[in-house]
Amino acid sequence: MESSAPPRAAVALNGVSKRFPGVVAVSDVTLAVPPGEVHVFAGENGAGKSTLMKLIAQVEEPSTGTIELDGAPVAFQGPGTARRLGVSMVHQEFALAPDLSVAENLFVGDEPGRAGWIARSAERRGAKDLLARVGLRIDPTCRVSRLSTAEQQRVELAKALAVRAKVLILDEPTASLTERETEELYRIIRELTADGIAVLYISHRLDEIFEIGDRVTVMRDGAVVATRPTAELDEAQLVQLMVGRDVENLYPRSFREAGPARLEVTGLTRGEAVRDVSFEVRAGEILGLAGLVGAGRTELARAVFGAEVPESGTVALDGAPLRIRGPADAIAAGIGYLTEARKSDGLAMQLGVDKNITMAKLPMKAGLISLGAERSIAEREREALRIRVPWVGRPVRMLSGGNQQKVVLARWLETGAEVLFFDEPGRGMDVGAKSEMFQQMDALAAKGKAVVFISSYLPELLNMCDRILVMRAGRITGEVERAEFSEERVVALATGAKGTP
């Protein structure tokens, strides 16, 4: 008689908790993930997802509870031990050495050879085999710094396979990928699970949770609130589990008739990235900028803002021509830019919330920065935007992605900007934080501000925008009015598909 016993779990957690001073980050989690399953972890920022993954990868040590790999309890000995036991974690920010070759990155710390000598030919052969498994056809001697984001991510996946991973942890893996690159990642994941690898997948994007996940575990305040097959849930049910309440409208837009043109851009050119671009944004309007990665959307925003000075073209606000030689001129004129790279370009990560909020418009008194006014401003914005932080002097590096984005927004609200560029504002944010950000965008439009919204996620643009401009290869290839919105039309304009109307 054949046994019907279920397979041993690739990873199992039994009453696992993690406490930091004053905070319970993970609370009494019991969960088992079998080999070959894509198990998605969902929840708001700060729910405990990333901390739980760090416990499995032995980046952090559990305060209580046990973790089993392939049916055997494992003691905490650090990330190196976890990798040797078959656990590999691919972070949002890749752990690759940019100045080393692909092959060197794949085998760092475990180089083939003997007697202290590295067998480079064996290293290259092994690298080719690993790269082939993730569909990457590149020279293994190529430096990692020369690779695209998508290529670097596949190197990270190959690196996981180099340690014969049984459990692969992916943290927001599609955050910087195009739609085509995302589909290729899904294909690789399905091949890995077909080989029996368990994939633990953190995502804020509802569409990919249902696309790739077999089961989903929802966390809130460090605890598991539900584990369900994705086939038994719909988006509304999943959102309710994540935020603990019904989110009636993730895209809270109150449409109204737009006013006169506020921002007018004519013939803007900067090399091949922005080529003879002209457009206007009206009062009370949210204008969308769509296009594939590399289409020129961010470069256009940076050119208007003065972060990259254009070679030709004009910018006018409320009919008055502007001379923008750098961001300081744009800020003085009333233009703000929420960069997509908020950690590297948008925030001083070591400084407090208060100093980040006021840095674009310092509160001065008798030629000195007024620290009291700085705190008052920060406290007011913390209350208004519901920034989750115990005190405004806390370094922004310690905040979640959603709260960091709110700090960036607070800065531009303090400047009184009349034109605001939002560049991928929802990236890395949970559904609750995204809804709050979209509420702020709608409120700004309601006050007569001009808003430009850049996003690679079409549902955001289709639900929030009055018009969408589509870019390809540095040019605007089409404009779509709200009455004509459709994903197919925007994608056709972005890709240059034949028959595009």
Residues 283 and 183 in one domain: no
Q: Which residues of 198-237 are buried (b: 16+ CB within 10 A; e: fewer)?
A: bbbbbbbbbebbbbbbbbbbbbbebbbeebeebeebeeee
Residues 87 and 45 in one domain: yes
Residues 183 and 297 in one domain: no
Render pLDDT for 269-303 as a digit per residue (tens, 0 to 9): 999 999 999 999 999 999 999 987 778 999 999 99
Domain assignment of residue 3, yes or no: no
Residues 308 and 393 in one domain: yes
Q: How confident is the model at residue 279, as a pLDDT?
A: 96
Rg (CA), the chain: 24
Tens place of pLDDT per residue across the chain (501 aa): 455 556 789 999 999 999 987 778 899 999 999 999 999 999 877 788 889 999 999 999 999 999 999 999 999 999 889 988 999 888 766 778 888 899 888 887 677 777 667 778 888 888 888 888 888 888 889 998 888 777 888 888 888 777 788 999 998 888 767 777 788 889 889 988 999 999 999 988 888 899 999 999 999 888 999 999 999 998 888 888 887 655 556 788 888 889 999 999 999 999 999 999 999 999 999 999 998 777 899 999 999 999 998 999 999 999 999 999 999 999 999 999 998 877 777 788 889 899 989 988 888 888 888 888 888 888 888 888 888 888 888 898 888 777 888 899 989 888 889 999 999 888 767 777 788 889 999 999 999 999 999 998 888 899 999 999 999 989 999 999 999 998 888 888 987 765 544
Residues 430 and 319 in one domain: yes
Q: How confident is the model at residue 1, as a pLDDT?
A: 45
Single out the residue of 399, 412, 407, 403 nearest to residue 378, CA to CA: 407
Domain boundary among 243, 271, 287: 243
Residues 189 and 280 in one domain: no
Backbone angles phi, psi at 289, to 5 degrees: -120, 115
Residues 372 and 442 in one domain: yes
Domain assignment of residue 500, yes or no: no
Residues 231 and 266 in one domain: no
Number of domains the chain is built from: 2
Q: How confident is the model at residue 461, as a pLDDT?
A: 92
Q: How confident is the model at residue 465, as a pLDDT?
A: 96
Residues 235 and 90 in one domain: yes
Q: How confident is the model at residue 248, as a pLDDT?
A: 53
Domain assignment of residue 252, yes or no: no
Residues 279 and 235 in one domain: no
Q: How confident is the model at residue 450, as a pLDDT?
A: 96
Domain assignment of residue 248, yes or no: no
Rounded distance, CA 222 to CA 210, Å? 23
Render pLDDT for 46-64 as a digit per residue (tens, 0 to 9): 788 889 999 999 999 999 9
Domain assignment of residue 5, yes or no: no
Domain assignment of residue 255, yes or no: no
Domain assignment of residue 249, yes or no: no
Residues 266 and 180 in one domain: no
Quote the tokens at residue 229: 């097959």
Residues 233 and 309 in one domain: no
Residue with tokens 């006018």: 316
Q: How confident is the model at residue 5, as a pLDDT?
A: 57
Domain boundary among 182, 211, 243: 243
Q: How confident is the model at residue 246, as a pLDDT?
A: 52
Domain assignment of residue 293, yes or no: yes
The CATH number of the domain where 350 resides is what? 3.40.50.300
Domain residues for the domain of 104 are: 11-243
The verdict on pTM exceeding 0.85 is: no
